[in-house]
Amino acid sequence: MGLTCLLSACVSSLADLRQDKADKVGDFPVNAVYLSSCVYQAMKGIVSPSDFRLKAHADNLGLYITVTRVAEVNTKRERAALDLRFLAHDQTTSVELRERGRDGWVRAGQAWPLIERCSQQLTARPAPPLPH
């Protein structure tokens, strides 16, 4: 398998996953930046063989957390198992969850409760000012 194949698999896998219909969608009454940051920090604390990445869309309206297997990251192939997209709407956030394969299903089962818990925590206390 050549380097070009590895690189094209890297790009198409995540792009293909993001083109799929969301497996789960929810709306939360909190800011997208705070919600995605809370979820990212919580996911980093989960002991798993995954590498977690937080990616911000260029216009800062779409924030992403992509879960990729460590074995795939080490070979420079990005095989996304789970992709979370946080869409900002004033002070509310829509979250889209997309999963792929067994790893994605397992990670989705871990991620959604974290999203709900972060939303509850952020709703219970006043939000700090947004970072500049």
| DSSP assignment of 30-57 | S-HHHHHHHHHHHHHTS-SSEEEEEEE-
Report which of residues 106 and 24 the model is more confident about: 24
Q: State the pLDDT at residue 129.
A: 64
Q: State the pLDDT at residue 8.
A: 37
pTM: 0.74
Task: Please state, rounded to an integer, the average pLDDT across all residues of the chain.
Answer: 76
User: Which of 3.30.310, 1.10.443, 3.40.1110, 3.10.620 would CATH assign to domain 3-124?
Assistant: 3.30.310
Residue 5 confidence (pLDDT) above 50: no
Report which of residues 20 and 77 the model is more confident about: 20
Residues 70, 2: Cα–Cα separation, whole Å:
20
Reported as half-sphere exposure (CB side, CA atoms, 13 A), residue 130 has a value of 9
| Each residue's pLDDT tens digit, 43-86 | 888 756 556 665 666 556 588 888 877 665 556 666 778 889 99
Helix (H, G, I), strand (E, B) or coil at 91: coil
Can you read off the two tokens belonging to residue 120?
Answer: 């509850």
Percent over 70 (pLDDT), the chain: 64
Residues 6, 110: Cα–Cα separation, whole Å:
29
Which regions of the chain does DSSP assign to beta strands (E)?
24-28, 50-56, 62-69, 80-89, 92-99
Residues 112, 38: Cα–Cα separation, whole Å:
12
When pLDDT is cut at 50, 70 and 90, the band that residue 114 belongs to is very high
Parse the chain into domains and list their residue ranges: 3-124
